[in-house]
Copies of this chain bind each other. A is one copy, B any other.
């Protein structure tokens, strides 16, 4: 229990607290006390309230752990809606890759990452896993934003923004990870191997070795399309999962992004290696990749978190929308209305996501000893009335606009739907300035606009 003399930094009280702990503790009303960035009190809101430097009165509101977005490419906010509804190859080779080659630099990454941070925070995301290039600039932006982020520097065997010579891709990643680790704070460095199609076996082995040396995580787009699996079977005689495992790549700190085209053998292997999965359903649907066997993966014992993927293939960073799509999509794919109940989806978006990113000891639930990554939703809206079950509403009826306050590591980063850590209007103006160049570029292939 809290010593009454110990003043809290922050208290949220009077709202319905969904802790998402193992027992599913639901305090109505409840209160959560924060000190030094950590949760030090979780209890019914009864009797005298402890003293706190700051009180968030949450009557009629829902308090829950912040959402965890397990995969995105934050700077791609610049390419949001630039090219849609195209065949995958056209989309990549005619639109996205040329736009990236032309427009990605540290200035672009900085501003467009801040925009992504704003969008994530305003929609209740408190932790993201970003995978891109020029990731040092992304780290600067994320640190300003106050988000908790796993920042993964891209590794690919082609010239990439900030890595014109692919022979140096591991060296650049190493420097990035060392520098970022030294900075401390809410940013965790990692390595993002783009895919088995774009990274050689040697590159993948080196990345694995680097991750081991530095003790950092590895992310990789894995089995995203049927074509990737077919190519791998043709070239390597086995599935992408088996191929990566043969390289020694698959270990506990690997995040397999997508995993749309994995079979039961793959799933069993991923589970044995302790690999986590980042399921990016809306992106997989939009690009025509497929629905993915998430029920099977979970049954195989894998931890599956949710990701939005980049804003060029979604086209937003809204984890509430993603939760709903995942809950509905799983039922549609299985033709089974009992597939992925709301409570499971909410855990995927919080606790399971934290586990996938290796952060389960710190975030993902509201429990004493965890860091205070919390969101507060208004429940007083037409579309949330009546409310028999808040968990059902969070998945099937609520949306990002219901998010009112966002706390990361004990700091109030969004208050009354406004970003407190940086000037969003300025960021939007800077991104529009960059977008105007993209739009008017003479050799840009995008037909939209």
Contact = CB atoms under 8 A, between A and B. Distances in A.
A314 B335 CA distance: 15
Contacts of A328: 282, 285-286, 325
Interface centre among A77, A285, A336, A424 (most CB of B within 10 A): A285
A383 B321 CA distance: 12
Nearest to A291: B332
A338 interface: yes
Interface string A429-449: 001101100110000001011
Contacts of A289: 335
Interface stretch (A114-122, A193-201, A205-213, A266-274): A114-122
A78 interface: yes
Nearest to A390: B81
Interface string A82-122: 10111110010000000000000000000000010011001
B389 A81 contact: yes
A400 to B, nearest CB: 7
A332 B331 contact: no
Contact of A449 (B288, B331, B388, B397): B388
B85 A385 contact: no
Contact of A337 (B86, B314, B318, B389): B86
Contact of A435 (B386, B400, B438): B386
Instruction: Give how many copies assemble into the complex.
Output: 2
B119 A382 contact: yes
A126 interface: no
A82 B401 CA distance: 23
Contacts of A446: 388
A393 interface: yes
Interface residues of A, number: 74
A332 B337 CA distance: 18
A63 to B, nearest CB: 18
A421 interface: no
A121 to B, nearest CB: 9
A78 B290 contact: no
19 contacts: A80-B385, A81-B386, A81-B388, A84-B341, A86-B338, A115-B382, A282-B328, A285-B329, A286-B328, A286-B331, A289-B335, A315-B392, A318-B383, A325-B328, A385-B435, A386-B435, A388-B449, A389-B449, A399-B401
A-B pairs with lowest CB-CB distance, top 4: A401-B401, A386-B435, A285-B332, A389-B448
